[in-house]
């Protein structure tokens, strides 16, 4: 008979009469306990050994148990303080004793509740009397803790239960296996067993020499955990952005591109935002300390100013707000990517804008908001618009239903809203896929004539915007966006976040 070396070693170390524990076998053979166990099970399957399983209980100290072992049980500390203060003769006020015993917080209650239970004395109306006959040096709980710490076993189960209730120890059970040779095993040993040669690694030499045919490979513990490995992966916010882009490209949208630092003209004036609008004040936007924009298209600037002052169409009114070219030409970080839509719709971005067209971007915008778990100073805005003849608000609703359905958000609600640049305007609300809550998921509308006419657009344009981070938080359930986006990010979180597709 040929057996692998480990199995042969176990056979030779085992006895036919006395069950031998795996630990003893491991010690005797010099093999690892898990190797012995594996070999024993293989031998049992061959009928050469039998395995007995028993359950052994062991106890370990908790952190609290360790503390009491070194510092003394709270009730014992209280007792010793009481003795010192003469509480054997007459009761001593408790507050004083707690101070000398150095007890505070939760250990006060622990001391009081165990003090009387263990016969150290009594507590009445806030005063402590100590029993002179009690002997803290023989406190059975302390003795047991010390024994457990030394790895000795404690047989008194009542005492162990008590210590467990006090959360001073943790008991665990484990299976102890013992191996005994069967009659077949004894016979096989007597007849002689040869050790098969085992190899650890498959080497080029083994392969080329053909030796691999005569060897047995050592078995691995294939269930054991391997070392952790963090591979490269795309940032989850990028993954989310890519998914949004895929959906939009699939719906026929082309991607826009343009400057982050831009003239207010493109960021706000083209959008018919009055220059004294609260969102255009310095505390809402990030102006840059650079010279004003070199140039904006003259004819367009004239038409935009006219729309602000006088409105468009015969019946139209303008704003009763100041308008200055200088204000429009100042450079700031864009507060929305609608500045890109304006550049594209005006034709100055060089793109083909013959209707019909669909355009989008998923790019950063900058707002001087309060930094908190759901608000960043810079975040990604999903921006999209459709330009075509005869679009109605029903087309707008249908487009958004289709888009959000791709992310599991159905039952959209359209709350009539107001934006200076769209009319009608809607805030989009959707049901959170897991919490069922109604959450705001975007802002949309039909661009106003005061926006489109100066740009020279003669057909309808519907548009919408939405924070990518909001979609991300809905999809992943993150509570603090700062863990994900920015230099305070937690690498561990980024490594462990489940991949969504």
Three-state DSSP class for 80? helix
Residue positions counted in the chain: 501
Q: Does 392 bind other proteins (CB under 8 A)?
A: yes
Q: Does 83 bind other proteins (CB under 8 A)?
A: no
What are the Cα distances from residue 357, in Å, to 38, 195, 259, 389, 422? 68, 78, 21, 10, 18
Applying CB under 8 A, the span of 25-33, 188-196, 215-223, 371-379 interacting with other proteins comes to: 371-379
Which residues neighbour 395 within 8 Å (Cβ) at sequence distance 6 or greater? 386, 462
CB-based contact 50:19 (threshold 8 Å): no
Cα–Cα–Cα angle for 133, 134, 140, rounded to 5 degrees: 150
Q: Does 394 bind other proteins (CB under 8 A)?
A: yes
Minimal distance in Å, beta carbon 462 to other proteins?
A: 9
Please identify, using beta-carbon distances, which residue of 66 and 440 lies nearer to other proteins: 440
Q: Does 231 bind other proteins (CB under 8 A)?
A: yes
Q: Classify strands 194-196 and 2-4 as parallel, antiparallel or unpaired.
A: parallel
User: Which of 424, 431, 432, 497 is close enough to bind other proteins by CB under 8 A?
Assistant: 424
Please identify, using beta-carbon distances, which residue of 34 and 255 lies nearer to other proteins: 255
Please identify, using beta-carbon distances, which residue of 58 and 321 lies nearer to other proteins: 321
Minimal distance in Å, beta carbon 288 to other proteins?
A: 5
| 48 CB burial (10 A radius; 0-12, 13-18, 19+) | buried
User: Which of 89, 378, 437, 480 is close enough to bind other proteins by CB under 8 A?
Assistant: 378
SS (H, E, C) 372-438: ECCECCEEEEEEEEEEECCCCHHHHHHHHHHHHHCCCCCCCEEEEEEECCEEEEEEEEEECCCCCCE
What are the Cα distances from residue 52, in Å, to 26, 55, 181? 16, 10, 11
Please identify, using beta-carbon distances, which residue of 192 and 278 lies nearer to other proteins: 278
Q: Does 31 bind other proteins (CB under 8 A)?
A: no
Please identify, using beta-carbon distances, which residue of 202 and 249 lies nearer to other proteins: 249
User: Which of 176, 193, 196, 449 is close enough to bind other proteins by CB under 8 A?
Assistant: 449
User: Which of 297, 316, 408, 433 is close enough to bind other proteins by CB under 8 A?
Assistant: 316
Applying CB under 8 A, the span of 46-54, 95-103, 174-182, 305-313 interacting with other proteins comes to: 305-313
Q: Does 465 bind other proteins (CB under 8 A)?
A: no
Please identify, using beta-carbon distances, which residue of 126 and 232 lies nearer to other proteins: 232
Which residues neighbour 277 within 8 Å (Cβ) at sequence distance 6 or greater? 268, 321, 420
Applying CB under 8 A, the span of 22-30, 138-146, 183-191, 448-456 interacting with other proteins comes to: 448-456
Please identify, using beta-carbon distances, which residue of 111 and 446 lies nearer to other proteins: 446
Q: Does 219 bind other proteins (CB under 8 A)?
A: no
What six digits make up the tokens of 327?
């204000």
The DSSP annotation for 20-50 comes to: EEHHHHHHHHT--HHHHHHHHHHHHHTTSEE
CB-based contact 198:4 (threshold 8 Å): yes
Give the span between the Cα atoms of 139 and 501, in whole angstroms: 62
Strands of 81-186, DSSP E:
92-93, 121-124, 127-130, 169-181
Applying CB under 8 A, the span of 12-20, 61-69, 91-99, 290-298 interacting with other proteins comes to: 290-298
Residues in region 245-264 near other proteins by CB under 8 A: 245, 248-257, 259-263
Residues in region 96-155 near other proteins by CB under 8 A: none
Please identify, using beta-carbon distances, which residue of 286 and 327 lies nearer to other proteins: 286
Minimal distance in Å, beta carbon 344 to other proteins?
A: 11
Residues in region 154-183 near other proteins by CB under 8 A: none
Applying CB under 8 A, the span of 19-27, 107-115, 138-146, 396-404 interacting with other proteins comes to: 396-404
What six digits make up the tokens of 50?
């039998």
Please identify, using beta-carbon distances, which residue of 120 and 359 lies nearer to other proteins: 359
User: Which of 5, 28, 164, 423 is close enough to bind other proteins by CB under 8 A?
Assistant: 423
Which residues neighbour 43 within 8 Å (Cβ) at sequence distance 6 or greater? 3, 7, 10, 11, 49, 179, 185
Please identify, using beta-carbon distances, which residue of 219 and 246 lies nearer to other proteins: 246
Give the span between the Cα atoms of 190 and 186, in whole angstroms: 6
Which residues neighbour 116 within 8 Å (Cβ) at sequence distance 6 or greater? 122, 123
User: Which of 390, 458, 479, 498 is close enough to bind other proteins by CB under 8 A?
Assistant: 390
* Window 329-368: contact mask with other proteins (x via CB under 8 A): --x-x----------------------xxx-----x-x-x
Please identify, using beta-carbon distances, which residue of 254 and 303 lies nearer to other proteins: 254
Please identify, using beta-carbon distances, which residue of 186 and 494 lies nearer to other proteins: 494
User: Which of 56, 202, 215, 290 is close enough to bind other proteins by CB under 8 A?
Assistant: 290
Using the structure block, give the residue that is written with the tokens 């009319």: 423
Cα–Cα–Cα angle for 104, 107, 113, rounded to 5 degrees: 125
């Amino acid at each position: 008979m040929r057996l692998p070396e480990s199995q042969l070693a176990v056979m030779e170390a085992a006895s036919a009469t006395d069950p031998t524990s795996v630990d003893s076998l491991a010690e005797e053979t010099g093999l690892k306990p898990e190797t012995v166990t594996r070999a024993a099970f293989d031998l049992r399957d061959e009928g050469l050994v039998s395995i007995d399983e028993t359950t052994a209980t062991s106890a370990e100290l908790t952190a609290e148990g360790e503390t009491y072992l070194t510092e003394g049980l709270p009730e014992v500390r209280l007792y010793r303080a009481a003795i010192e203060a003469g509480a054997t003769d007459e009761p001593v006020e408790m507050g004083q004793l707690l101070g000398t015993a150095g007890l505070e917080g939760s250990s006060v209650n622990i001391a009081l509740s165990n003090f009387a239970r263990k016969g150290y004395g009594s507590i009445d109306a806030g005063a402590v009397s100590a029993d002179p006959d009690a002997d803290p040096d023989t406190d059975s709980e302390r003795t047991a803790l010390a024994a457990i710490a030394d790895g000795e076993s404690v047989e008194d189960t009542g005492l162990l239960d008590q210590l467990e209730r006090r959360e001073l120890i943790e008991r665990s059970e484990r299976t102890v296996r013992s191996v005994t040779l069967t009659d077949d095993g004894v016979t096989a040993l007597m007849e002689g067993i040869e050790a098969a040669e085992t190899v650890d690694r498959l080497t080029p030499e083994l392969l080329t020499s053909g030796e691999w045919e005569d060897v047995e490979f050592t078995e691995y513990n294939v269930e054991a955990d391997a070392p952790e490995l963090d591979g490269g992966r795309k940032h989850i916010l990028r993954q989310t952005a890519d998914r949004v882009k895929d959906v939009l490209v699939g719906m026929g949208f082309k991607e826009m591109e343009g400057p982050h630092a831009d003239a207010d003209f493109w960021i706000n004036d083209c959008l018919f935002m009055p220059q004294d609008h609260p969102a255009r004040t310095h505390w809402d936007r990030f102006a840059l300390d650079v010279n004003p924009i070199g140039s904006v298209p003259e004819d367009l600037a004239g038409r935009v100013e006219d729309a602000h002052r006088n409105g468009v169409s015969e019946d139209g009114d303008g704003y009763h707000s100041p308008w200055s070219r200088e204000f429009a030409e100042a450079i700031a970080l864009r507060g929305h990517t609608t500045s890109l839509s304006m550049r594209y719709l005006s034709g100055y971005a060089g793109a083909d804008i013959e209707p019909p067209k669909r355009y989008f971007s998923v790019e950063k915008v900058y707002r001087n908001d309060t930094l908190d778990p759901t608000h960043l100073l810079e975040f990604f805005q999903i921006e999209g618009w459709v330009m075509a003849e005869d679009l109605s608000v029903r087309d707008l609703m249908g487009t958004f239903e289709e888009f959000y359905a791709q992310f599991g958000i159905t039952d959209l609600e359209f709350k009539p809203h107001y934006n200076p640049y769209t009319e009608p305007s809607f805030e989009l609300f959707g049901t959170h896929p897991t919490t069922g809550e109604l959450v705001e998921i975007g802002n949309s509308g039909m661009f106003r004539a005061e926006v489109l006419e100066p740009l020279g657009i003669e057909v309808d344009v519907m548009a919408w915007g939405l924070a990518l981070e909001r979609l991300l938080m809905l999809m992943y359930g993150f509570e603090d966006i700062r863990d994900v986006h920015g230099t305070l990010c937690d690498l561990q979180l980024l490594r462990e976040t489940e991949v969504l597709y």
